[in-house]
Chains A and B, each alone.
Chain A
Amino acid sequence: MSDTSRRELLQAIALSFTAGGWSLEAAQHVHKMAAQEKALGPYKPKAFTVHEYKTLEKLAGLIVPPDEKSPGAVASGSCEFIDLLASQNPELAAIYTGGIAWLDRTMLSRYSTDFVGAKPDQQTALLDLIAYRKNESPELGPGIHFFAWARRMVVDAYYTSPAGIQDVGYMGNTAVSKFEIPQAVIDYALKRSPV
């Protein structure tokens, strides 16, 4: 949504306020309009080679896979987010290009294939090692360090996308005339609380 149209909408609600009426509909309209996603065309990576980008997509798909509730990280733009920021920051780009090269080399020495070409159980076997700090070793250190970056940024991108926000169940950023907590929610917490 462009700045201009957002501005017009905000001015419209500002006007409806000064006219004396508190217009819930107007405010909700703004929120709805604001929620419209930009349609994305086929994506050409800016910072990464096609191979690197495919590897990133594979990783993102493993970190937040699609499931019955959501299309997952790849369909929600996580890789575009990382590619965009990396294209603006050589330091960040190097973390990914270096990390992906490490993944490929490690897969090559273990399974004679690069990461994207490996079988799913080979990919997860490596991730099961580098996804945990407890496996820290001179051999795995670079992979653990890189995976922490990838996980953090994929999670950030996914949960700030419309699909991720819906998935985690955030129900706010809307205009309401009265603030209330449903009784069932209160009961849930009180039943579980030691106080």
Chain B
Amino acid sequence: MFQITPRSQVYDVVVIGSGAGGGTVTKVLADLGVNVALLEAGPMIDPAKDFKEHMWPYQVPHRGIGDGGAGYFGRNPFPFGYFSTASGGWQLKGEPYTVAPGNKFEWFRSRVVGGRTNHFGRIALRFADYDFAPYSQDGLGADWPITYDELAPFYDKAESFIGVTGSKEGIRSAPDGIFQECPPPRVHEMLVQRATKKLNIPCIASRLAIITKATNGRPACHYCAQCGRGCVTASNYSSSQVQVFPAMKTGRVKLFTNAMARELVTDGSGKVTAVAYVDKATRTEKQIRCRSVVVACGACESARLLLNSKSASHPNGIANGSGHVGRNMTDSVGYSLGAHIPALDGLPRHNSDGMGGMHVYIPWWLWDAKQKEFPRGYHVEIGGGFHMPGIGSFAAECREHEGYGKGLKDAIYNRYGANVSFSGRGEQIPNEHTFCEIDPDVVDQYGIPVLRFHFQWTDHELRQARHMHETFQSILETLGGTVTKPKADFMAGEGISTGGQIIHELGTVRMGNDPSTSVLNKYCQAHEVKNLFVADAAPFVSNPDKNPTLTIIANAWRTAEYLAEEMRKGNV
């Protein structure tokens, strides 16, 4: 399938990173006849071997808690549980990052073909038209150099190609797209819809990157709810299965795994001529030559690569004349609350697995409110139903009912599937205290300088988390539940997620029309380096209350088409 190529070969494009951005660029370029070298810092993934889809907990002696019961002691080596396909974690051995004193930040990295798309939540939301002009509305942050209408055709392409469920609703905060049919709501979701209706809050069919009809040779979802384990039938979107593997079949893509990009090498004119990387298998440094490079390592990793690419023509790191590389970083605001819903006690047993994730969700509904406690907004994800029992599934019953024997068993039976929870995901406004930079004192095991994070929420986000609590409490109480979790002191920083924890970190190589305040132009091409593009969520100017993946795919698609056209014209 692949050609043996001499080291001296010059690739049209080197793409660094095989997640949502890199996978999209690779597929689009390969389909347009461009020769691509795809660098991935982790190993190959083999769904048949690596995915634990359909495994029962008793098929592994530790049942998922880890050897020695590690999870009971807060040391579970599996960040999202043993059965999740998340490859990587909050810490990677030999590849540290640091956090500035007085700051808190957590960074999730997956080193594997497909990156974090192998396990992500599959939520696929379009940004709204107003999300592209936030500064114009409230004077905070900055406007994007593109409009919704410019990106819309690429949302169409992305949704048509990867497959996204949903329903046409005509809600401005949640633009409609090209949707496949969403399966009906689960029982608790029906109740939530009735409660939210009473509270004048919309609750609509989920927009998940899961196919419910056969699409591009991929069979429809078989409703086992295990998307987080990876899908052997590729019925959900992962860049590995949906983009990288098909792109490799064109014969125009050469994949380099375990290739940790270290530096973009430039010539005297400042253009990128090669990518220097560490071949992890041999721990040797290699170079791969290119006409253009697309950086898509994940927003912070992309910033790190640019900052580490210093030369006479780029003393502050490549493309960083503005000093904005690493700046403008944001994550999503996260807060969750759940309660026992007595109406669901003893619910007759049935298979409620469905898609991996909720079948209905709450889009932001106060976007046109005259008076708001905080700028921007959040969407709400809904949890509940019967899940495959696992370690800890009935810990709450053990804790609350206590006892033993028949009484405890009856309590567990009765309460199984009777909890409903809500998770808010909201917009953080960029602030000057939140960014990443190169730590001057620390390198990883390959000798590459590592990132140091600075992260602070502001009152905007703290008020938003408090609003989430109030919303969730009112829905839970409307459902007949009683919230037992005490209300946190949100304005003191309690309750809200830790920065990075929602894994929506982005904005670190932002685009814009002004080269003094942005790194990339509106096509995600570096202002200062014509053959350097960035195609993950680093170019995002803001972090709207919609998970970033679909917009990464749409924007990367747009970037790839622009790059191919510029190459055809001989401009890069």
Question: Closest A-chain residue to B388, C-beta based?
Answer: A173
- Pair B347/A188 contact, Cβ less than 8 Å: yes
- Whether, in the assembled complex, B250 has its beta carbon less than 8 Å from a beta carbon of chain A, the answer is no
- Pair B184/A171 contact, Cβ less than 8 Å: no
- Pair A193/B191 contact, Cβ less than 8 Å: yes
Contact of B406 among A14, A65, A184 (CB under 8 A): A65
| A: number of interface residues (CB 8 Å) | 76
Contact of B348 among A62, A88, A151, A184 (CB under 8 A): A184
Q: Chain B contacts of A1 at CB under 8 A?
A: 59
* Chain A positions 42 through 69: 1 when the CB is less than 8 Å from some CB of chain B, otherwise 0: 0000000000000000000011110100
Q: Chain A contacts of B480 at CB under 8 A?
A: 193-195
Q: Chain B contacts of A186 at CB under 8 A?
A: 187, 190
- Pair A169/B59 contact, Cβ less than 8 Å: no
Looking at B73, B183, B220, B389, the one whose CB has the most chain A CB atoms below 10 A away is B389
C-alpha spacing A147/B399, complex, angstroms = 11
C-alpha spacing A162/B51, complex, angstroms = 21
Q: How big is the B interface, by class?
A: 35 or more
Q: Chain B contacts of A24 at CB under 8 A?
A: 222
Question: Closest A-chain residue to B62, C-beta based?
Answer: A85
- Whether, in the assembled complex, B233 has its beta carbon less than 8 Å from a beta carbon of chain A, the answer is yes
Smallest distance from the beta carbon of A165 to chain B beta carbons, Å? 6
- Whether, in the assembled complex, B55 has its beta carbon less than 8 Å from a beta carbon of chain A, the answer is yes
- Pair A148/B398 contact, Cβ less than 8 Å: yes
- Pair B55/A34 contact, Cβ less than 8 Å: yes
- Pair A161/B412 contact, Cβ less than 8 Å: no
* Chain A positions 104 through 129: 1 when the CB is less than 8 Å from some CB of chain B, otherwise 0: 00000000000000000000000100
Interface of A (DSSP majority class): helix
C-alpha spacing A159/B73, complex, angstroms = 20
C-alpha spacing A18/B246, complex, angstroms = 13
Known: A168-B413, A185-B350, A194-B343. A151 touches B54 (CB 8 A): no
C-alpha spacing A184/B348, complex, angstroms = 8
- Pair A10/B232 contact, Cβ less than 8 Å: yes
Contact of A172 among B219, B342, B388, B409 (CB under 8 A): B388
Interface hit among B148-156, B351-359, B519-527: B351-359
Smallest distance from the beta carbon of A161 to chain B beta carbons, Å? 5
- Pair A85/B69 contact, Cβ less than 8 Å: yes
- Pair B187/A34 contact, Cβ less than 8 Å: no
- Given contacts A131-B403, A151-B398, A174-B353, 11 further A-B pairs with CB under 8 A are A24-B222, A31-B54, A67-B409, A89-B67, A89-B68, A151-B404, A159-B394, A173-B54, A185-B347, A190-B191, A195-B195
